[in-house]
Structures are given as structure tokens and as C-alpha cells.
A = this chain, B = another copy of it.
């Protein structure tokens, strides 16, 4: 069986930047998981003593604080910046962008629509910048129960699928007089998605590597599964099962934006052994 890596996969700009920040801030504490990858977070803990707080109260008044890539609510950030000695903002610039758009557009009187998962930390941080209550949806069905104004602005969670985003946009353009569409899906997401789409068309088994709570990895898995039903989303080599590869000719491999290269290599080696 041949193993083929996706043309674009793994660490994106924002994740690389955040890890560099963490490595340069030994003993710091992060506001929630820095990225959605447990193994890499464990590595930062063991090599640089960078720990993870799961509650904003845990980091108040701490010496060195790092803001996670997904950002945190505006009020929390302000409070930390006012009270903590050293706050380093590792919010991905691709997330800062929709935060600013929400603030700007809501001030200009547009109703804010956030296309994303309301429980996702990035969405929580983005929506907090709207000066009016935003509408957060993942599909058109959820829009049907909402009061939609005639002038709206929409941003997307950076890791969503464009196909789903455009369905919501289409629904809004039918309902509203003006829709300001800000495509805030990040380029790395686009590139990884396009590449996994192509690879899953030719492969007969696909391994998608990334945190189980990683939104962008879940999207990659969903795209892959549409073309190649034998697509598996795994986090570590232990999850691999031998029978996935029996009678297969081409195994495609891709990884989410928060998956470090060393995990990908471990998994590729494990597949090679099989």
C-alpha cells in the first residue's frame, strides 16, 4: 500500500506563531488550551512548563499569561490586560480580523451574524466584540427562527467549510436588502480543505490527524468522508486499527492546523509498519 501526504496539511501560521510565543515564555499560563491539540500542549508543559488554565479566574493576577490562538471574550482580555503583569496575545490574526469586523459593523448599525459553533472558544471571542447581540448559526435552519434585520454583516468562524458558509449567505441575500459578507475563513483552512478534497478522490483510505475538539480537523474529516467513505479522524497512533488498511492501495494522510509534524510522522511510521 502506498502512503501519500496531502499537498497542504498541518500547522497553520497562527498555530506556529502561538507555539513560538509559548516556547519563549517558560512558566507562563495560557487562557484555556493554547491550540486544540493535547499532545502538543503536553509537550509545551513538559519542555517549557507552560500550563493551561481552564477558567479565566485561575489566571487573574498571574505573572505571565498567554492568550490562546482562538482569542477570549473582549471583557476578559481587558480585565487581564488591566490587572496582570505580562499578557501576551497569541490570538491568531485571522481571528482578530472577525473580532474587529463585528465591533466595527455593529457600531455602524448592521446586525451581526456569526457563522460558527456557539460553544467554540473562537466564536465566543468573536461574538463578544459585537456591540449588539449577534445571531450565531451553523445552518440556514437555525436562521429561520431568528429575527433578521434588513441590513446584516456576516463573518465566519475561521475553520468552517465555505460550502456551508455560502448556504447561509444565500439564505440571507434572499431575506435582506444588504448583506456584507466577510469571508473570514482562513487561507490555511482553504488550502488544507482543497488538498484533502483532491487526495480523498484518489485514495481508498484516508487518515485525518488532529485533536478531537479541533473544528478544522473535523471539517477535513467531513470533506474527506464525502469522497472516501473509509476516512478516519484520529489523534494518536494508538487509535490505528490494522483492518482499516486491508486490501487498500492508496492511503491518504492529512492533518488539522493544530497538529504538530512529530505526531504526523509517528502516525505515518505506524501505518508503514502495518
A binding-site residues for B, Cβ under 8 Å: 162, 165-166, 169-170, 173-174, 176-183
Contacts and interface: CB of A to CB of B under 8 A. Distances in A.
Contact of A174 (B178, B182, B183): B183
A191 to B, nearest CB: 13
Nearest to A170: B166
Given A162-B173, A162-B174, A174-B166, A181 B180 contact: yes
Most buried by B among A165, A173, A176, A178: A173
Contacts of A166: 166, 169-170, 173-174
Number of copies: 2
Contact of A179 (B174, B177, B183): B183
Given A166-B170, A170-B166, A178 B180 contact: yes
A59 B146 CA distance: 51
A108 to B, nearest CB: 12
14 contacts: A165-B173, A166-B166, A166-B173, A166-B174, A169-B169, A170-B170, A174-B183, A176-B183, A177-B182, A178-B183, A179-B180, A179-B181, A179-B183, A180-B180
A173 B173 CA distance: 12
Contacts of A177: 182-183
A173 B178 CA distance: 14
Given A162-B174, A179-B181, 8 more contacts: A165-B173, A166-B173, A169-B173, A173-B183, A176-B183, A177-B182, A179-B180, A179-B183
Nearest to A97: B177
Contacts of A174: 162, 166, 183
Contacts of A180: 178-181
A93 to B, nearest CB: 13
A136 B166 CA distance: 21
A163 to B, nearest CB: 9
Contacts of A176: 183
B169 A181 contact: yes
Nearest to A166: B170
